[in-house]
Amino acid sequence: MKSVLRKLLSPSLVSSLKSVVERVDKKIIPFFASNSFLSSFYYCFFSTKFRREHQSVLKGRLAYKASLDAINHSSVLLRRNTHRLEKGLIMQPRREIFAEAYIEETVECFRKCIASSSICSDELKWAQDVLVSYFAIVGDSDIINNAKARFETLTLKSFECASESLPYQHQARVQAEVSSDQLLALFQQRRSVRWYEQKPVELELIKQAIEMASQAPSACNRQPFQFYTITDMNKASDVASIAMGTTGFSDNIPALIVVMGDLSAYPAERDRHVIYIDGGLASMQLMLAFETLGLSSCPINWPDIEICERKIAKKLALDKHLRPIMLMSVGYGQSTGKIPYSQKKSAEILLKEVN
Ligand SMILES: Cc1cc2nc3c(=O)[nH]c(=O)nc-3n(C[C@H](O)[C@H](O)[C@H](O)COP(=O)(O)O)c2cc1C
């Protein structure tokens, strides 16, 4: 609608209309911002800016419910509950009875997962190892005994990998041989690069970087995101050009990743922001991983703008519960292409001591 009006009206009329809207907003916003009910009223009747998010959250809740029965390669419920059990197993001191509130649900979900042919075997093995360990140490209660009896009726899978996916001691964790100077150098090496050599990026390299990025933390270990990857240079430029922040360099982008948040990971609205946090953390690791593989990248803003959202949803055939978090250009940096200095704030400014 807005773009149609823009085409029909002269630029001066558009700017006068904009300033009228701004003046009206200035007058009415203090009133509507005075409490949460009026704020919702404002966004219901005066602005449609949250409309898509509302629909996405509701579609996400529906898709979450559907995913409990139609298990695909991963189950968010199994991942979340297995992680809750892991935390119970490492508790200091460990409680005799724990996880009563969700153990029956977990065993039922595990049952559906072992019956599924498409579930990821590493995920299933992790859940199975944790459940076996849980039932071996947890105390007695009616709920736990029922769940245990049900678990014992299930035919457990045997996996090729012999090592157990179980909690381990801090001293046994992987030790990286990276000094803080080396890590700082990697952080400084990574800069937003917008000018690339015009050669394709190998999908295998991107896959390797994603494998590395998947080590990022995520709330309840759900990892509610996917990296939609385009290595066809024409298509990468085409999709990149939908975002406003690529003006002037979209044609130069050899590969593009759309970091996609999946709201079907949550049964309730309270977690709707977690896709942005988890997706952002993984994206940071992805950009650093690219650097170690000789690739450069640039994060690209994905503002919540209706027309852009509609275009990208059409190009990538997105369901409503999928929300682009950001875009990322990837490629071999042009050695003479320039990089903005982009001064960083010092720790003195960033650190706010709380006593
Ligand atoms: C969420 C996010 C969105 C960004 N969007 C854009 C963008 O649309 N276009 C662009 O050229 N750079 C974009 N950038 C890159 C920033 O301009 C850049 O990170 C910042 O200036 C710091 O520079 P550095 O990345 O080289 O350290 C974005 C960065 C982030 C983290």
* 123-166 confidence digits (pLDDT tens): 999 999 999 999 999 999 999 999 999 999 999 889 988 799 99
Cα 288 to ligand 1 centroid, rounded to whole Å:
14
Same domain, 110 and 206: no
Question: Do 115 and 149 sit in the same domain of this protein?
Answer: yes
In a 10 Å sphere around its CB, with 0-12 CB exposed, 13-18 middle and 19+ buried, how is residue 254 labelled? Answer: buried
Q: What's the rounded Cα separation, in Å, for the pair 98 and 77?
A: 18
Tell me if 195 sits within 8 A of 338, measured CB to CB: yes
Judge whether 181 lies within some domain.
no
Domain co-membership, 324 together with 195: yes
Q: Is the pLDDT of residue 4 over 80?
A: no
Three-state DSSP class for residue 335: coil
Q: Is the same domain home to 262 and 301?
A: yes
Do residues 211 and 145 both lie within one domain? no
Q: How far apart are CA 191 and CA 211, in angstroms?
A: 21
Last residue of a domain, one of 153, 169, 199: 153
Tell me the residue range of the domain where 17 lies: 7-47
Omega of the bond leading into 340 within 30 degrees of 0 (cis): no
Segment 293-348, tens digit of pLDDT: 999 999 999 999 999 999 999 999 999 999 999 999 999 999 999 999 999 999 99
Which parts of the chain fold into alpha helices (H)? 2-8, 11-32, 36-45, 51-69, 76-89, 103-115, 121-137, 142-153, 180-189, 203-213, 233-240, 274-292, 306-316, 347-350
Amino acid at 229: T
Our answer on whether the CB atom of 333 is closer than 6 Å to any ligand 1 atom is no
What is the 183 CA–ligand 1 centroid distance (Å)?
20
Ligand 1 pocket test: pick from 188, 298, 327 the residue with the most ligand atoms within 8 Å of its Cβ: 298
For the record, the structure tokens of 81 come out as 């509950």
Domain match, 230 and 301 both: yes
Asked if residue 72 and residue 43 are part of one domain, the reply reads no
How remote is the CA of residue 321 from the centroid of ligand 1, in Å? Answer: 26
Full DSSP string of 164-228: ------GGGS------HHHHHHHHHH--B---B-SSPPPHHHHHHHHHHHTTS--GGG---EEEE
Q: Do 230 and 263 sit in the same domain of this protein?
A: yes
Distance 306 CA to ligand 1 centre (A): 22
pLDDT band at 176 (very low <50, low <70, confident <90, very high): very high
pTM metric for this prediction: 0.94
State how many domains the chain has: 3
